[in-house]
Structure 1
């Protein structure tokens, strides 16, 4: 009996490992195609690139909105697999930073690096949601998750003692949430703003708007983002 349990456990572990490997292969193919060709790539192309059946993509990852969300998490985590927010390298650096200004500068620079890759996918998912309920649900879930994460960021900033006393954590989170969006990045990109300029703008604006002026006013270290 014990031997039978061990054999079943072994077979289960092997199946789980193979399923994880298949999922990784599908997501790598999806990231390559989305990066090269954009959101319009059909799931059948992803299956072909991954060397699996179309149904395998659906079984291992889900439908197209699920694939997009997983790819976004791969890019945000700079990994070959989707990475939860708390495990991402830039998030860990933000939390380790001692001052609010350092935290803001790290986050703004990270967004300048990440949004050129993630914003087109997010915007495409939002636009597709106008006619596709699954895409609408996926975009709403992503948007709400971003809001929750920004509240955690606001609480982290609060812990430094450098935030304005007249702004509560929700107000701080909402300001950051509104400006780290794909829509905001895309609008300024259309005006010719480079990612680096966008990042400097975020750091400058958040420092001036969110932090106690005593932290930065008059020290000459807040510069124009132009």
Structure 2
């Protein structure tokens, strides 16, 4: 009886691993095609061919094209195989535990430089898709508004240190950070001007310190 249970558990584990590998292959294929040829021009059949699966497998493992785009955005943000709320990401916890505003800024700048290497290409693909697809337009708005809310929380966390400039309210602080952690800003400096991720990280950390902290 015990051996039967072990065999069944082992088989179930293998199936779960295979399902995760299949899901990963589907997302990798969708990412490559969305980034290189755009959301609108990419078909589910092309994604299936690239991933080596049939269309029904895509629908059962992830969903239709808008669901694929959402998964790509969420996993790019989290750096994991699934969506992770911002409050549960390790760097956010490190920010909360940091004692000074400068330390919090440095942690976040490093996180942004890492995230944008994954996020920027798919975020720009989503921006372009939002021009013609209603589901992508709703997702673009949702992500943008979520990011703005998160920046308000970050501003409030900086405020607790009493090291922010007195003439800046939390909304202004959040807006400054929101604009400079955007995928578009990353693309301008890293992809178009040839900055390294390390140079980008140092730049935004130094800029936020100069712009936002009391001297």
Band the TM-score falls in, shorter-chain normalisation:
0.7 to 0.9
Post-superposition offset of 1:191: 1.2
Pair 62,166 (structure 1): closer, same or farther in 2 beyond 3 Å:
farther
Deviations 1:94-114 (A, max 9, x none): 111111111110110111111
RMSD: 2.6
Determine the structure 2 residue equivalent to 1:82. Answer: 83
> Is the contact made by 1:77 and 1:89 (CA closer than 8 Å) also made in structure 2?
no
Q: Which has the higher contact order (CA 8 A, sep 6+)?
A: 2
What is the TM-score when the length of structure 2 is the normalising length? 0.79
Deviations 1:130-165 (A, max 9, x none): 122222221111111111111111111111111111
Aligned residues: 195
* Partner Cα separation in structure 2 for residue 31 and residue 106 of structure 1: 29
* Partner Cα separation in structure 2 for residue 102 and residue 27 of structure 1: 37
> Is the contact made by 1:27 and 1:81 (CA closer than 8 Å) also made in structure 2?
no
Q: What does residue range 151-162 of structure 1 map to in structure 2 within 5 Å?
A: 151-162=152-163
* Partner Cα separation in structure 2 for residue 147 and residue 26 of structure 1: 34
Determine the structure 2 residue equivalent to 1:142. Answer: 143
Out of 14, 23, 28, which is 1:32 matched to? Answer: 28
Unaligned runs of 5+ residues in structure 1 are: 1-17, 214-226
* Partner Cα separation in structure 1 for residue 89 and residue 208 of structure 2: 22
* Partner Cα separation in structure 2 for residue 137 and residue 59 of structure 1: 23
Post-superposition offset of 1:69: 2.5
* Partner Cα separation in structure 1 for residue 62 and residue 177 of structure 2: 31
